[in-house]
Structure 1
Amino acid sequence: MAYVNNIRMFLRVYELGSMSAAARDQRTSPAVASSRVAELEKHLGVRLFNRTTRALHPTEHGQMFYDGARGILDAIEAAEGTVMEATQSPKGTLFVSAPLFIGRRIIAPALPAFRAEYPEINLRLRLSDRVVDVTAEGLDMAFHLGPLVDSDLKVRMISDCPRLLLAAPSYIARRGNPESGAALVEEGHDCLNLRFPGAREFQWTLQTDGGPRRYEIAGSLETDNSEVLTDWAVAGCGIVLKPRFEVAEHLRSGALVPVAAATPPYPAQLACLTPSRRLRDPKVQVFSDFMVARCREAIAAADP
């Protein structure tokens, strides 16, 4: 088992490009991670990484070993999954990511019920509104809200999520209600921006009579946290673009109202992304089934 653990550590160091990042991923110390890689190098009789004070890069032997090692670990995990499927007792650790609102308001509250049904499955839940790299970050599953891009990941569609442009009544009283995306820009409205590497929310694509049109929006407030954007909008700081299910309570209370009705946003796609090699893993299957159902219930409950 020690050899398998050494291979697993090597793969995570290779994929994350950092000994410390791999150590965090495997819930151990950088010293242990370095020791496991060193043991593997000693066993193979080659150096797998070139190390400097600033960076770590795989050697030619490391690159050669990676593909075979990845296949070995995938085969072991597939075999374990077959056994667990036969015994009908999914177990192990799942690494899952989700956007903040979905993670905090839907997935996290449902976890006690999931754990009661599957007590041998442990979960490592990472919440972030940034775009994650499922493969590079070693995730078993990622809940994704937004445009889907071509990849080798298995996509399980959950729902199309209607979106709205919204503002607080206090903002509308102060700045007016823009009728369209063009007015949004021409009148210089404050737009609340979601910014992080890879984010595109500062360019809102809206529906017009002539088809989709992208508007370059601007504002004085930015964050990488979508829930903070909602709080700012409720406080009257500007206009926000949001999925309806995230702001349903504020719509019902009147804290937020739709604006720019002539050019509404396109729906966002909510999907569950899984590496192909994880598809037959029973713990992945049961978690996906359980949480996809909860997500669909929450989105349906937000409809007016």
Structure 2
Amino acid sequence: MSYLDNIRTFVRVYELGSMSAAARDLRISPAVASSRISQLEDHLNARLFQRTTRRLNSTEQGRIFYDGATRVLDAVAEAEAAVGQVTRDPRGTIYAAAPLGLGRRLIAPEVPAFKADYPLINLRLRLSDRKLDVTAEGLDVMFFLGTPEDSSLRIRKIADCPRLLCASPDYLARKGTPSDPAELTTGAHDCLNLRYPGAPEFQWPLETAEGIKRFAVTGPFESDDGDVLTDWALDGQGIILKPVFEVADHLASGALVPVLEDTPPITVQLAALYTHRRKQDAKVRLFLDFMVKRIVKALSASTKARPSG
């Protein structure tokens, strides 16, 4: 197993471009990661990386070895998955990611039930509203809302998620209820925006009688955490654009009220993204099948819980 560990360490160092980043990812010390790379280089009698004080660059030998190393690891993963299928005893670790709101409300609550069904599978769940790179982050699967930019990855669509604009009754009593989406762009209303470096949406796309239009909304507050925006809206600080499932409980209680229902935000796709080389991994398929059923059920319940009118 030590040689496989050395190969795994090399692959993560190559993909992340950093010894310390790879060590954190593998939950080992930088010294252990460095030692594994040195052992591998001694075994191959070749230098795999050029090391400087600031950068770690792959050599020609390193680039050649990476292609073969990933095939070796894929073959081992597929062999382990095949054994798991035969013995009905799948095992291993799944690395998954999701946006904060989606992860907290639809993914994380189901993890204990998945673990109960498959006790030998461990899950490492990362939640972030920032854009993540599936390959660079070493993820098996990433749940997302929207349209991915990387067409080289496989997509499993789960559902179409309706969205809406909403605000607290206190905010609407103070600022008035907008009757036209153009009011969101004039400063008459405070819009709470999800923004971070590389964020795809700096405008709100709404369905109007003339078709989909994008409105450059304005407001005093922004955050890269969607739940912070919800908290601000509950506190009467402005209007938010949210998937219905994220605010269903607040809508049902009356803590948040829909606005501009005649010009709602466009529906957004909820899907899972994963790499081609993981498609044969039985435990990832089990996880996806399990989560898709639970997510669809939860989304249906959240839509029914939303008050009409």
**Aligned counterpart, 1:289:** 289
Mean Cα deviation higher: 191-200 or 137-146: 191-200
Q: Output the aligned Cα RMSD.
A: 1.4
**Aligned counterpart, 2:277:** 277
Distance 1:282 1:70 in 2: 18
Distance 1:16 1:102 in 2: 26
Distance 1:10 1:158 in 2: 35
CA contact (8 A) 1:194 1:223 kept: yes
CA contact (8 A) 1:148 1:269 kept: no
CA contact (8 A) 1:205 1:215 kept: yes
**Aligned counterpart, 2:117:** 117
**Aligned counterpart, 1:141:** 141
Distance 1:22 1:180 in 2: 51
Distance 2:257 2:35 in 1: 57
Which residue type is aligned with residue 65 of structure 1? Answer: F
Structure 1 residue ranges without an equivalent (≥5): none
Distance 2:188 2:64 in 1: 55
**Aligned counterpart, 2:206:** 206
CA contact (8 A) 2:207 2:263 kept: yes
CA contact (8 A) 2:230 2:240 kept: yes
CA contact (8 A) 1:97 1:142 kept: yes
Alignment TM-score, normalising by the size of structure 1: 0.95
Which residues of 2 match residues 152-301 of structure 1 at below 5 A? 152-301=152-301
Give the paired residue count.
Answer: 304
Distance 1:253 1:116 in 2: 33
Distance 1:74 1:300 in 2: 37
CA contact (8 A) 1:99 1:129 kept: yes
Distance 2:76 2:188 in 1: 58
CA contact (8 A) 1:184 1:260 kept: no
Measured after TM superposition, the shift of residue 186 of structure 1 is 2.3
Distance 1:113 1:251 in 2: 27
Which residue type is aligned with residue 161 of structure 1? Answer: C
Going from structure 1 to structure 2, the CA distance change for 1:82 and 1:233 (only over 3 Å counts) comes to: same
Distance 2:216 2:133 in 1: 26
Superposed CA deviations along residues 214-244 of structure 1, whole A, max 9, x for unmatched, are 2212222111111111110111111110000
CA contact (8 A) 2:186 2:218 kept: no
Measured after TM superposition, the shift of residue 261 of structure 1 is 2.7
Which residues of 2 match residues 78-97 of structure 1 at below 5 A? 78-97=78-97
SS of equivalent residue, structure 2 residue 237: coil
Mean Cα deviation higher: 176-185 or 29-38: 176-185
CA contact (8 A) 2:250 2:256 kept: yes
CA contact (8 A) 1:145 1:269 kept: yes
**Aligned counterpart, 2:23:** 23
CA contact (8 A) 1:179 1:262 kept: no
SS of equivalent residue, structure 1 residue 66: helix
CA contact (8 A) 2:105 2:246 kept: no
SS of equivalent residue, structure 2 residue 83: helix
SS of equivalent residue, structure 1 residue 236: coil
Measured after TM superposition, the shift of residue 150 of structure 1 is 4.3
Superposed CA deviations along residues 156-188 of structure 1, whole A, max 9, x for unmatched, are 111100000111111111212222321210244
CA contact (8 A) 2:187 2:219 kept: no
Superposed CA deviations along residues 2-57 of structure 1, whole A, max 9, x for unmatched, are 11111111111111111111111111111111111111111122221122222212
Which residue type is aligned with residue 262 of structure 2? Answer: A
Distance 1:201 1:194 in 2: 8
SS of equivalent residue, structure 1 residue 97: strand
Distance 1:174 1:202 in 2: 26
Mean Cα deviation higher: 54-63 or 163-172: 54-63
SS of equivalent residue, structure 1 residue 32: helix
CA contact (8 A) 2:131 2:199 kept: yes
Going from structure 1 to structure 2, the CA distance change for 1:251 and 1:63 (only over 3 Å counts) comes to: same
Kindly report structure 1 stretches of 4+ aligned residues shifted beyond 6 Å.
none
Distance 1:256 1:163 in 2: 14
CA contact (8 A) 1:158 1:270 kept: yes
SS of equivalent residue, structure 2 residue 93: strand
